[in-house]
Chain A
Amino acid sequence: MQRITCDVLVIGAGPAGLAASIAAKQEGAEKVLIVERDESIGGILQQCIHPGFGLSYFKEELTGPEYYARFADKTLELGVEVLLNTMVLDITDEDVVCISAKDGLSIIKAGSIVLAMGCRERTRHQLTIPGSRPSGVFTAGTAQRLMNRENAMIGRRVVILGSGDIGMIMARRMTLEGAKVIAVVELNDYLAGLTRNKVQCLDDFEIPLLMKHTITDIKGRKRIESVTVCEVDANNIPIPETAVEYPCDTLLLSVGLIPENELTHKAEIDISPITNGPVVNQYMQTSREDVFACGNVVHVNDLVDNVSLESERAGQYAAKYALGKLKKREDVIQAQPGRNVRYICPQQIVNAEDGGEINLYFRVAGPEEKVRILVKTGDKVIVQKKALRVNPGEMEHMRFDAREITSPDLTVEVMKEAI
């Protein structure tokens, strides 16, 4: 067993962990250590070979590997240490326990901890689709890993359930590799992912998108042979008369992501039932004052650019905490979702009178057109903007200074614009 001491410990070397570790170093933390269970750094971006990253952060269009490389280079340059092939088992009150095949158990004592474990995909079992249990049913991200990193062509006739970004990106990827994507099937009447991906991944290749449809049966003995697709009614209940059976050898599921918070739960850190991630304040600090969190472990993001920005904040304040420079939190204000707002992140603002930029990220509950977004405290509107269209698949954000919060409440609401 080895004992390690560090100022800031970051769990996970994906985009969130890399950005947090860099910011922690830049803030003055001397020893910053990342623990990563994979054999290499970069996280999910290693398999996201497509472009579309960095448009807001770097003002240029990069692929996933190019995007994380810029952060990886910086960690190297700044002397961030990385423990690969190492899995964190437990965060106790005193230290962090991790294990690797090479070193066995390690006990890490850290001045502060940054949770950057990311998320994982929802699977068929969480949807309860009836039918047999053949092979050929993949989550879209697993399919992406198999094709982009392991050189496996996973199928030739593909149906995709869910219009999430990874599903649409895999529709294009498989088409380019010679597969026939029969349809993308979406339960809701709005897109789960970004419009950009519908245009460039589906429309470009004339792949049909069936809105208000779902899969009601999976048939096949060894390998999947067909799926049954039904239209759904206003309550999302399948209409049996509309059933169509599509022969296929592959079904991809792109039906949502779940923040990976087993460690957070075990450490008894408060978790939001809506985001399924830790509740954080504007410093990305969790209910345990020495534990910070960032990226998809907090809430699932659409754009890695936002993850990088949020994670820099987590790393910066984790370093401040470790160096004894972070003021005790007082006057906790809860940010309340108002009309047509599903959740807000960060959920809490502390020490508002000290000022500092607040960047509230939020998602709407349902799609709407011609709206006004307002951030309010007491009777005062702090900041507002018009939006032509809002969609649950595209995260919104509002920026203002903490000093503007003059009452002990904060609400974000989306109002229909009077015409």
Chain B
Amino acid sequence: MEKIVICTVCPIGCNITVREENDELVITGNQCKRGLTYATNEYLHPVRILTTTVKVHGGDQVLVPVRSAEPLPKELLFSAMDLIRDLTVDAPIHRGDVLINNILDTGIDIVATGEIKC
């Protein structure tokens, strides 16, 4: 299998080719070591920080912005959204508060990135 990865580590944006040959990854087109790591991770296990909002009850705002504390496996983004969408939390909320613990057994929390007063 072969995959072309556009590197997003820096603005150069190398088109890196990742190919599997005899159980080994052959990576070409990168111009630095960071690109090598990025392309390897993108090929083996792409992850993304998920950001969205959670409904708030009794706050000065109706939504609180949230993020996954760490990047989540890319294939879990929509399942995570389904869980987050059904959640309503009570004000007050402080930045860094854990709103969902260990989402989808990933070991990663969904945390508030904003402050909501009552």
Q: Tell whether, in the assembled complex, residue B51 and residue A150 are in contact, meaning their CB atoms are under 8 Å apart.
A: no
- B113 in complex: contacting residue of A66, A203, A204, CB < 8 Å: A66
Chain A: number of interface residues, binned into ranges: 20 to 34
| Given A49-B53, A63-B51, A176-B52, A195 and B8 contact (CB-CB distance below 8 Å) | yes
- B6 in complex: contacting residue of A50, A147, A199, CB < 8 Å: A199
- B67 in complex: contacting residue of A63, A176, A196, A199, CB < 8 Å: A63
Q: Tell whether, in the assembled complex, residue B81 and residue A203 are in contact, meaning their CB atoms are under 8 Å apart.
A: no
Q: Tell whether, in the assembled complex, residue B52 and residue A49 are in contact, meaning their CB atoms are under 8 Å apart.
A: yes
Residues on A with C-beta less than 8 A from B95 are 65-66, 69
Q: Tell whether, in the assembled complex, residue B49 and residue A51 are in contact, meaning their CB atoms are under 8 Å apart.
A: yes
Residues on A with C-beta less than 8 A from B85 are 177
- Complex CA–CA separation, A149 to B114 (angstroms): 11
Q: Is A388's CB within 8 Å of the partner chain B?
A: yes
Q: Is A339's CB within 8 Å of the partner chain B?
A: no
- B53 in complex: contacting residue of A64, A148, A204, CB < 8 Å: A148
Q: Is B48's CB within 8 Å of the partner chain A?
A: yes
- State which of B18-26, B58-66, B97-105 sits at the interface with chain A: B58-66
Residues on B with C-beta less than 8 A from A200 are 8, 48
Residues on A with C-beta less than 8 A from B55 are 151
- Complex CA–CA separation, A51 to B67 (angstroms): 8
- A51 in complex: contacting residue of B13, B51, B115, CB < 8 Å: B51
Q: Is B36's CB within 8 Å of the partner chain A?
A: no
Residues on A with C-beta less than 8 A from B114 are 46, 65, 69
Q: Tell whether, in the assembled complex, residue B81 and residue A177 are in contact, meaning their CB atoms are under 8 Å apart.
A: yes
Q: Tell whether, in the assembled complex, residue B113 and residue A199 are in contact, meaning their CB atoms are under 8 Å apart.
A: no
Within A54-70, the residues touching B (CB, 8 Å) are 61, 63-66, 69
Residues on B with C-beta less than 8 A from A148 are 53, 63, 65
Q: Tell whether, in the assembled complex, residue B49 and residue A389 are in contact, meaning their CB atoms are under 8 Å apart.
A: no
- Complex CA–CA separation, A394 to B13 (angstroms): 12
Q: Tell whether, in the assembled complex, residue B62 and residue A150 are in contact, meaning their CB atoms are under 8 Å apart.
A: yes
Q: Tell whether, in the assembled complex, residue B51 and residue A203 are in contact, meaning their CB atoms are under 8 Å apart.
A: no
B12's closest neighbor in chain A, by CB? A388
A44 to chain B, nearest CB (A): 13
B10 to chain A, nearest CB (A): 9
Q: Tell whether, in the assembled complex, residue B78 and residue A176 are in contact, meaning their CB atoms are under 8 Å apart.
A: yes
How many inter-chain contacts with C-beta < 8 Å in the A-B complex?
70
Q: Is B77's CB within 8 Å of the partner chain A?
A: yes
Chain B: number of interface residues, binned into ranges: 20 to 34
Residues on B with C-beta less than 8 A from A50 are 51
The digit string for B81-118, where 1 denotes a CB below 8 A from any CB of A, is: 10001000000000100000000000000000111000
- A151 in complex: contacting residue of B6, B8, B63, B113, CB < 8 Å: B63
| Given A148-B65, A149-B63, A177-B81, A204 and B8 contact (CB-CB distance below 8 Å) | no
- Complex CA–CA separation, A22 to B56 (angstroms): 32
Q: Tell whether, in the assembled complex, residue A49 and residue B13 are in contact, meaning their CB atoms are under 8 Å apart.
A: no
- B8 in complex: contacting residue of A66, A177, A196, CB < 8 Å: A196
Residues on B with C-beta less than 8 A from A203 are 6
B4 to chain A, nearest CB (A): 10
Q: Tell whether, in the assembled complex, residue B63 and residue A204 are in contact, meaning their CB atoms are under 8 Å apart.
A: no
Q: Tell whether, in the assembled complex, residue B81 and residue A61 are in contact, meaning their CB atoms are under 8 Å apart.
A: no
Residues on B with C-beta less than 8 A from A63 are 51, 65, 67, 113
Residues on B with C-beta less than 8 A from A51 are 49, 51, 67
- Complex CA–CA separation, A367 to B49 (angstroms): 30
- B51 in complex: contacting residue of A49, A69, A195, A204, CB < 8 Å: A49
| Given A49-B53, A151-B55, A176-B52, A65 and B6 contact (CB-CB distance below 8 Å) | no
- Complex CA–CA separation, A148 to B53 (angstroms): 7
A62's closest neighbor in chain B, by CB? B113
Residues on A with C-beta less than 8 A from B34 are none
- Complex CA–CA separation, A49 to B85 (angstroms): 15
Interface, chain B (partner A; CB < 8 A): 6, 8, 11-13, 31, 48-53, 55, 61-63, 65-67, 74, 77-78, 81, 85, 95, 113-115
24 contacts between A and B (CB under 8 A): A49-B51, A49-B52, A49-B66, A49-B67, A49-B113, A61-B49, A63-B51, A65-B95, A66-B95, A147-B53, A148-B53, A148-B65, A149-B62, A151-B62, A176-B81, A177-B52, A194-B11, A195-B8, A195-B11, A196-B8, A199-B6, A204-B48, A388-B12, A388-B31
Given A49-B51, A64-B65, 5 extra CB contacts under 8 A? A49-B53, A49-B113, A176-B52, A196-B8, A196-B13
